[in-house]
């Protein structure tokens, strides 16, 4: 195995004034030049997966990623499915290396409680597929350092904005759901000139990189802030009610597993379903108390051994790695409710807490005795675990951007749209969007200069059709299916097995494979024609 490196620990202790962003940026393999073939705005999971896959299939491209945060931080969205595991295996390392860094997850587990919340009326035990529960700080730090290892420059503490011209959108066609499936772009085109990307403006807190960067193509992965997509239209909201989310972080008490709900100790993402929506319980390994420099040394050690083809089984355990690099970890649980926003709250809501997020979180906990007993007996609140807040909120989550591609740019992840945290489409469907965007980017750069604008235009239309007309409407239809099911346990009992049959299909035996182009249209089950036909019928 590789020797135990302490490069980043030594760098920080040798220079106490070095900032987190300086420490991270020191890991880039080349200097900032003011230009790149592709610029990715934000270094979240989806943006980094796009950059990594693009570098794997087009190693000659110069890719720069800019992240406004000074270092990776925790955010919501911890649960993954086989699409993430398969991407990791195909584009990064065998997924069993990740068992040293993240909690194991075996599928999805559902409990349906009655209208008064007195008991569990139905249960569906996990076992869907094997994947991971992600500490987002650790996952984004790992992906950042892997990207840097393969030659992608990732800059922290550098915000991005864009200057666009009206023609940057192209006259995007909307082909509708039927033609929105992802397909390779085989048209060479006959354009007379090359395409132009939006101008990328930098807000560099260190004042070391300048105020702009030249890019041939831009990928907007800025999430809900929609730094580029917002310039081409306001959010499109789906018909019907929307959903809000309220969450906090907890630690399990010493209550025996058998004294909780049946099968509660099974390592799945747990869902408790009630008429207004559902609640998640996600147990994960948290590295929040580990110093950044120590974590970077730990990750470097894992990456270096993986690159040297050391078997994952020969890598020290999580506990030993923690001791080797002085990186404390602990198990915590993310708990939250994703509920319909047409629910009428009582007038005395102020009695439930000090802030809106605390009040509404506590309201649903108290409304259903099954929830209240479970949480009061088994979970202790972690106050201010991630900074100054204890309770968090995100409102009106479901939307899509009207334009997600144009001349010299594509948008992926939450910048292009989002529906609901149920089955975590932000990561698990977002992987498909990032994968497809990278495939199209490869084709765009492979086109001769005289036809590049035509190829760019066709690629933008193809991605618009896929993301706007195919992926998002189907995810929304799946969301409606689930929320209808939560309102009656009889529907729950009938519709859960149906989803496994017509949506998930063979995923249980495929989690160990690599992510391939044929997987792009799966969309966590919502992309299958059988599921769409069935869900619309019921």
Catalytic residue among 55, 105, 283, 365: 105
Q: Under DSSP, is residue 35 helix (H, G, I), strand (E, B) or coil? A: strand
Across 408-458, the runs of DSSP E, i.e. the strands, are: 409-411, 417-418
Extract the tokens encoding 328.
């404390």
Q: What is the chain's percent helix, strand, coil content, to nearest 5?
A: 40, 20, 40
8 A C-beta contact, residue 427 and residue 84: yes
105 is catalytic: yes
Alpha helices in 156-240 (DSSP H): none
22: enclosing H helix or E strand: helix 20-25
* Number of alpha carbons in the 13 Å side-chain half-sphere of residue 286: 19
| Distances in whole angstroms, Cα of residue 368 to Cα of each of 345, 358, 375 | 14, 16, 11
> CB neighbours of 311 closer than 8 A, spacing ≥ 6?
none
Residue 62 burial by Cβ neighbours in a 10 Å radius (0-12, 13-18, 19+): middle
Across 412-503, the runs of DSSP E, i.e. the strands, are: 417-418
248: enclosing H helix or E strand: strand 243-252
8 A C-beta contact, residue 415 and residue 50: no
Residue 533 burial by Cβ neighbours in a 10 Å radius (0-12, 13-18, 19+): exposed
Of 466, 121, 107, 513, the C-alpha closest to 270 is: 107
| Distances in whole angstroms, Cα of residue 83 to Cα of each of 107, 186, 244, 508, 519 | 12, 26, 26, 11, 8
* Number of alpha carbons in the 13 Å side-chain half-sphere of residue 18: 18
Extract the tokens encoding 307.
């690159």
**Residues catalogued as catalytic:** 105
């Amino acid at each position: 195995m590789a020797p135990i490196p302490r490069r980043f620990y030594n760098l920080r202790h040798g220079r106490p004034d070095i900032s987190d962003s300086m420490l991270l940026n020191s890991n880039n393999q080349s200097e900032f030049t003011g230009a790149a073939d592709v610029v990715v705005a934000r270094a979240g999971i989806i943006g980094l997966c796009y950059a990594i896959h693009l570098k794997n299939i087009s190693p000659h491209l110069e890719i720069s990623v800019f992240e406004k945060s000074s270092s990776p931080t925790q955010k919501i969205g911890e649960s993954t499915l086989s699409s993430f595991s398969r991407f990791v295996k195909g584009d990064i390392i065998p997924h069993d290396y990740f068992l040293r860094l993240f909690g194991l997850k075996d599928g999805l587990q559902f409990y349906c409680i009655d209208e008064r919340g007195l008991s569990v009326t139905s249960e569906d035990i996990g076992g869907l597929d094997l994947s991971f529960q992600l500490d987002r700080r650790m996952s984004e730090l790992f992906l950042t350092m892997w990207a840097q290892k393969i030659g992608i420059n990732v800059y922290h503490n550098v915000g991005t904005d864009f200057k666009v011209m009206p023609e940057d959108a192209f006259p995007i066609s909307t082909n509708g759901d039927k033609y929105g499936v992802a397909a390779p772009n085989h048209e060479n085109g006959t354009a007379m000139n090359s395409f132009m990307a939006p101008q990328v403006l930098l807000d560099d807190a260190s004042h070391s990189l300048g105020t702009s960067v030249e890019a041939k193509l831009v990928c907007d992965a800025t999430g809900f802030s929609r730094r580029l997509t917002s310039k081409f239209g306001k959010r499109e909201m789906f018909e019907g009610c929307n959903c809000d989310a309220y969450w906090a972080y907890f630690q399990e008490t010493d209550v025996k597993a058998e004294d909780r709900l049946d099968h509660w100790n099974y390592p799945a993402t747990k869902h408790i379903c009630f008429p207004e929506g559902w609640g998640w319980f996600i147990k994960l390994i948290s590295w929040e108390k580990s110093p950044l420099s120590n974590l970077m040394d730990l990750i470097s050690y894992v990456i270096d051994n993986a690159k040297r083809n050391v078997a994952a089984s020969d890598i020290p355990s999580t506990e030993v790695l923690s001791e080797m690099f002085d990186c404390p970890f602990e198990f915590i649980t993310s708990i939250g409710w994703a509920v319909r926003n047409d629910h009428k709250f009582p007038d005395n809501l102020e009695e439930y807490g000090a802030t809106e997020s605390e009040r509404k979180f506590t309201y649903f906990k108290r409304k259903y005795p099954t929830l209240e007993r479970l949480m009061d007996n088994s979970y202790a609140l972690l106050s201010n675990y991630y900074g100054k807040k204890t309770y968090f909120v995100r409102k009106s989550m479901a939307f899509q951007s009207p334009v997600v591609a144009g001349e010299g740019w594509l948008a992926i992840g939450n910048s292009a749209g989002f529906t609901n945290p149920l089955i975590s489409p932000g990561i698990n469907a977002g992987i498909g969007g990032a994968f497809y965007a990278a495939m199209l980017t490869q084709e765009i750069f492979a086109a001769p200069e005289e036809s590049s604008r035509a190829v760019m235009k066709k690629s933008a239309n193809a991605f618009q059709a896929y993301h706007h007309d195919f992926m998002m409407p189907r995810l929304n239809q799946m969301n409606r299916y689930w929320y209808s099911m939560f309102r009656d346990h009889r529907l729950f009992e009938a519709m859960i097995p149906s989803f496994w049959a017509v949506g998930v299909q063979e995923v249980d035996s495929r989690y160990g494979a690599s992510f391939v182009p044929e997987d792009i249209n799966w969309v966590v089950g919502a992309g299958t024609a059988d599921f769409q036909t069935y869900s619309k019928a019921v």
